[in-house]
Amino acid sequence: MSEENVPEAAETTAQDALPSNYNAANIQVLEGMEAVRKRPAMYIGDTGERGYHHLVYEVVDNSIDEALAGYCTMIDVTINPDGSLTVQDNGRGIPVDMHPTQHRPAIEVVLTILHAGGKFDGSNYKVSGGLHGVGVSCVNALSDWMKVDVKRGGKVHHIEFSRGHVTKPLEVVGECGEETGTRVTFFPDHTIFSCRAFKWEILCARLRELAFLNKGVKIHFKDNEGDAHHEETFHYEGGIDEFISYLNMNKKPLSPIIHFEGEKANASGVPITAEVSLQYTDSYSTIEQTYCNNIHTIEGGTHLSGFRAALTRTINKYGADNKLIKEKDNLTGDDMREGLTVIVSVKVPQPQFEGQTKTKLGNGEVEGIVGSIVSDKLMTFFEENPAVAKTVIEKTLLAARAREAARAARESTRRKGVMDGLSLPGKLRDCSERDPAKTELFLVEGDSAGGSAQTGRDRKTQAILPLRGKVLNVEKARVDRMLANNEIRTIITAIGCGFAEEWDISKARYHKIVIMTDADVDGAHIRTLLLTFFYRKMPELIEKGYVYLAQPPLYKVERKKRSEYVLTDGELTEKLLTLGLDDFEVKGKDDQPLEREKATALMRLLAEIEMTSKAVEERGYKPKELLNDPAAVGSGASMLHKQFQSLEGMGFTQDDYFGGYLPGLLDQVRAHGKQGLSMYRFTGLGEMDADELFDTTMNPEKRHMLRVTLNDAVKADQMFTLLMGDEVEPRRRFIEENALNVRNLDF
């Protein structure tokens, strides 16, 4: 079809050329949309959770482009009650006039022809663009339906599609005066995707990142689905500098935030821009996040190597010139990056993405551009701030010494065969199966639970490693101290992937590593310490989804000689209420019995109110006063408000609660549920015998396990720093703020 070479003038003037040409255009649309639907993964990566959310990024990227071009200041993203999603912006609006060669409204062309999302005049290159940069037409092809409204030229235009084909042609539906903008609503095609819903956390992380990367753009995000109703606005005038302070919010800074930016034409005279922001903290870890055209380049590339080379060069030169670094100090780039948080963001006209996941920037010219702006400006910064330079270099020297000590420690353990899995730790009770895809390693708190687990397990596929005492907090220890810790060394050896430079995920001896700790404060602490270790030192285990949390039951409930295990407090309440409502009549305000469904909803709500009230009281407040104090803020106050609104929605008043009538009702129902029931609360894994532990927690047929995932790596980093790091005040504040929402502590 691209061979069809009709002169443009003939096309636009000769009316009778239209039908056949229109047909050709139709075929182009048909083929394009079908191609995407046939091989969706080729266009958006995959059809799971990642691809599902990628649809949103493709649409938002168009709005970001409008913002980068200077026409849009606000982007509104909403998850709708029906599971569809809306992206609205105040940009110029997608053009709606007749397309000169396609003889259809331009908007139809933009939304149905592959790669037609770019600007028509060719003067603008598209700098944003999703990972695959496929454009909004792909989203259309993969949506069960899409509805688009455009405000442009004083009119509101509307068009609808299904699976990439027009179902309602473009029409004018109203007037809008001077206003302009685009609103796209779509519902992904569930015959193509395995994912079923948009996740708040995933979208939040990306939208926040986009707001940091594109300073000044205001992104408003709202979740109207289910009873969640979250809402957040991301707007950062400070751009990537604010990104750095966000990333470092719980760390102790050793330097101010240092910002560089520059621009340079590439070989064809088109500008490449680079922006770098960095800060040193007293942490032992490094955060390097690089972006090209707003795409997170996870595998790095030329912008990262340009930055690293310049940092090493500059520190070495400044250190040598000022006699802070000697030849024998033998510093490496890694040493110079300990405690560093850096964002590198480049905008490149024709980016080349390489690597396994196509997230490695390949454009060679970028290396020099980033390198030269960093070298020049960092040297100037050091010269003007010698005290900061000295602090940074001292940290670097300490890192080098620790690295040398760690190397010696590794060398000696390797000689003993510990690191390569040749000699497995004596405490490990290994399984017989050798295919790691079929095996599981249980990290068990305490020797007694370890004993039960060892007796109860499936010897073929389940290995047990009992852990004695506390695991080292790797957030506060350098590598040398870490490798001197027995517990840590044993875990490294058992897993078999090695460590640091020798790390090799393909050597994993188990594809499930299950943390099994008691359901008490100590257990939670050990779990967090282990997660910190995996997250900081073996992140690939988490990325691959190899790390799990066992879910041992909290209660054993017996009734009529039948016993049952209950996992959580919430589940127990639910159980008691269900049993309690059997043969029990709950009366409403009008003295009429409530339907079972309504009674259940009421009891659930009352149990929630009871829980919130308790938490509020523990913090020294009176729920009733808090509710009626217009100045009251905080999670407790807002939660109570919502709960009492729901209660009023069911026809009850505050007095019904605070007067004691409703709490009495709840107690009655619970007491009724408890009749003939015996309950036992487990305080530790050690209380279960081998069979019981296997049945409830380890048996693959029956158990519940949570897979540890990373929806928001930035949040996870902050949380580990916060929970395990040195700063006391932010931790106290965090725990206080989240006392009502303990679930937040599990990431």
Beta bridge partners of 265: 271
Of 441, 463, 445, give the one whose Cα is nearest residue 454: 463
Instruction: Catalytic residue, from 411, 522, 540, 691: name it.
Output: 522
End-to-end, the C-alpha distance of the chain in Å comes to 52
Q: Indicate the pairing of strand 258-265 with strand 271-280.
A: antiparallel
| Residue 77 Cβ vs ligand 0RA, minimum distance, rounded to whole Å | 12
**Amino acid in the structure at residue 494:** A
168 bridge partner residues = 160
* Burial class of residue 500 in the structure, from the number of CB atoms within 10 Å of its CB (0-12 exposed, 13-18 middle, 19+ buried): middle
CA 702 and chain centroid, separation? 29
Beta pairing class for 218-223 and 74-79: parallel
E strand or H helix at 185: strand 181-188
Token look-up 């966000």 returns 246
Residues 129-148 touching ligand 0RA, rule: CB under 6 A, are 136
For ligand 0RA, the binding residues in 158-197 under the rule CB under 6 A are 182, 184
Among 58-66, 376-384, 396-404, 501-509, which window interacts with ligand 0RA (CB under 6 A)?
A: 58-66
What single string gives the DSSP state of each residue in 74-134? EEEEEE-TTS-EEEEE-SS----SBPTTT-SBHHHHHHHSTT--S-TTSSS------SS--
**Nearest distance from C-beta of residue 494 to ligand 0RA, angstroms:** 51
Compute the least distance from the CB of residue 167 to ligand 0RA, in Å.
Answer: 19
> Is 520 marked active-site?
yes
Q: In angstroms, what is the minimal distance from the CB of 131 to ligand 0RA? A: 17
Integer Cα distance of 340 and 248 in angstroms? 10
d(CA 150, CA 145): 17
With beta carbons less than 8 A apart as the criterion, state whether 494 and 463 touch: yes
Assign 3-state DSSP to the chain and report helix, strand, coil percentages, each to 5: 45, 20, 35
Residue nearest to ligand 0RA (CB): 62
C-beta of residue 141 within 8 angstroms of C-beta of residue 32: yes
**Nearest distance in Å: CB 66, ligand 0RA:** 5
Query: Among the options 65, 66, 149, 445, which is catalytic?
Result: 445
Q: Smaller CB distance to ligand 0RA: residue 95 or 684? A: 95
- The footprint of ligand 0RA on residues 582-601 (CB under 6 A) is none
Gap between the Cα atoms of 324 and 491, Å rounded: 39
Q: How far is the CB of 32 from ligand 0RA (least distance, A)?
A: 17
CA 239 to chain centre: 20
Write b or e for each residue in 179-209: b if 16 or more Cβ atoms lie within 10 A of its Cβ, otherwise e. ebbbbbbbbbbeebbebeebebebbbbbbbb
Q: CB-wise, 120 or 661, nearer to ligand 0RA?
A: 120
Nearer to ligand 0RA by Cβ, of 92 and 674: the residue is 92
Phi, psi dihedrals of residue 664, rounded to the nearest 5°: -60, -45
Task: Give the nearer residue to ligand 0RA in terms of CB position, either 178 or 583.
Answer: 178
User: Please, what is the minimum distance in Å from the beta carbon of residue 297 to ligand 0RA?
Assistant: 24
**How many CB atoms neighbour CB 423 within 10 A?**
11
Indicate the length of the chain as a whole number.
Answer: 747
Shortest reach from residue 116's CB to ligand 0RA, in Å: 8
Collapsing DSSP states into helix, strand and coil, what is residue 453? helix
Cβ-based nearer residue to ligand 0RA, 69 or 519: 69
**Of the two residues 136 and 389, which places its CB atom closer to ligand 0RA in the complex?**
136
CA angle 406, 409, 410 (to 5 degrees): 85
CA distance 163 to 166: 9
What span, in angstroms and rounded, lies between the C-alpha atoms of 398 and 179?
Answer: 59
Q: For ligand 0RA, which residue of 22, 81, 97, 119 counts as binding (CB under 6 A)?
A: 119
Q: C-beta of 91: minimal distance to ligand 0RA in Å?
A: 4
684, 449 in Cβ contact below 8 A? yes
x/- letters, 60..99, toward ligand 0RA (CB under 6 A): --xx--x----------------------x-xx-xx----
Shortest separation between residue 184's beta carbon and ligand 0RA, angstroms: 6
Nearest to 34 by CA among 124, 100, 103, 114: 114
Burial degree of 426 (CB within 10 A; 0-12, 13-18, 19+) = exposed
Q: Find the shortest distance in angstroms from Cβ 140 to ligand 0RA.
A: 11
Cβ distance to ligand 0RA smaller for residue 90 or 528: 90
Choice from 110, 159, 213, 599 touching ligand 0RA (CB under 6 A)? 110
Considering the complex, what minimum distance in angstroms separates the CB of residue 54 from ligand 0RA?
A: 16
Which position has the token pair 């519902």?
Answer: 187
Closer CB to ligand 0RA, 198 or 442, in the complex: 198
- The CA distance from 207 to 77, in Å, is 9
* Window contacting ligand 0RA (CB under 6 A); options: 31-39, 59-67, 219-227, 693-701: 59-67
Nearer to ligand 0RA, 150 or 626 (CB): 150
Size of residue set near ligand 0RA by CB under 6 A:
13
Give the Cα separation of 390 and 657 in Å (integer).
63
**Three-class SS of residue 41?**
helix
- Judged by beta carbon, residue 148 or residue 626, the one nearer ligand 0RA is 148
Known active-site residue 445: yes
User: Chain-centre distance of CA 125, in angstroms?
Assistant: 30
**Smallest distance, Å, CB 62 to ligand 0RA?**
3
For strands 340-347 and 271-280, give the pairing.
antiparallel
Distance CA 352, CA 359 (A): 9
Distance CA 552, CA 568 (A): 9
- The residues in 431-470 that bind ligand 0RA, with binding defined as CB under 6 A, are none
Q: Which of 518, 608, 692, 717 is catalytic?
A: 518
Residue 135 or 301 with smaller CB distance to ligand 0RA: 135
- The residues that are catalytic are 445, 518, 520, 522
Q: Which residues bind ligand 0RA (CB under 6 A)?
A: 62-63, 66, 89, 91-92, 94-95, 110, 119, 136, 182, 184
